[in-house]
Amino acid sequence: MTQTLQKDLIDLLPLGEEGVRELLQDAIAQKARFREHGPDAEFAGRTAALYFEKPSLRTRVTFEIAMNQKGGQALQLDAGSIGIGKRESLADVARNLERWLDALVCRTFSHELVESLAKLAHIPVVNALTDVSHPCQALAFGQTALERRGELSGLSLVFVGDGNNVARSLAELAALCGMHFTLAAPDGFEFPGEFSDLVAPLFRSRGTRFAQSHDPFGAVRGADFIYTDVWVSMGQEGLMGKASHFLPFQVDRKLLDAAGSQALVSHCLPAHRGEEITDDVLDGGKAVCFDEAENRLHAQKAVLRRLFRATGRL
């Protein structure tokens, strides 16, 4: 049976296991193809726009280069100039953009904004980070883990820190790919109950473990991958006081040693060195975060290829 492709990438769960695994395999193939043959013209005549309300290094650069290396074009939309909901309605913005573009990549605070754009516009919409989820980052991690271990099923992933957008997308990836997942977070910073209720049955159906813990050392014991992120996310700088809750959850050499020699470490970046992760871990031989950053480029290509196919653009 031919799989019906989703028009948009807002979260990972709607893709299902087959969709996520296809994206990861294509990301690996795109990387190999580029290293052997260089740029190609698969996206010739296609244009993607980047609408970003938050600062970005990896996401912006990798989406722009992904389009360029595949023969397409990328342009940056200034959120202040467009003024969604201020200068004109969201519906009118969507109706205009769909007449000019082949894809819209959004990095916003509001998850509902990205969902609404996806409903209103007939072109693919990509969630490049919201306050709720970061599916593209999780895909790049999945690619990196596959390259390092050859298979995701049965691996153990432990996220140490806040149950934030990155943690949620990683939990979705783990649920779909047969990985064990634990969130090690301070009391009060666990996943929202509705999210846990959503993903827990997926883990149970695959016979894998989904857990939350307040003990980082117990949580990482035997982990294949330890993942962390900044303690205070973009837009939450007024909550700097919460950082004191996370001091026992720093990923340092002591925590890494407690995990065991098999453990690798990643971070979505940018990192606040000396806070959620120490220099010796981030720059050490167990860290794969810069491999993951490189893989953002090829994972974005795989995402765009899939969505262009879904809408008849390839």
Q: Known catalytic residues?
A: 107, 134, 137, 229, 268, 296
Q: Where are the alpha helices (DSSP H) in 181-252?
A: 193-205, 216-220
The answer to whether 58 and 296 have CB atoms below 8 angstroms apart is yes
Which phi and psi (to 5°) does residue 132 adopt?
Answer: -100, -40
Measure the CA angle with vertex 277, ends 276 and 282; round to 5°: 150
Question: Is beta strand 225-228 parallel, antiparallel or unpaired with respect to 156-160?
Answer: parallel
Give the residue among 84, 122, 116 at the shortest CA–CA distance from 103: 122
Region label for 283, one of left (φ > 0), alpha (ψ between -120 and 50) or beta (otherwise):
alpha
Q: Distances in Å between the alpha carbon of 24 and those of 16, 21, 74, 261? A: 13, 5, 23, 26
Partner residues linked to 251 by β-bridges: 277
State which amino acid sits at residue 119: K
Tokens representing residue 290 in the block: 């810069």
State the SS3 of 87-132: CECHHHHHHHHHHHCCEEEEECCCHHHHHHHHHHCCCCEEECCCCC
Give the residue among 165, 182, 224, 122 at the shortest CA–CA distance from 12: 165
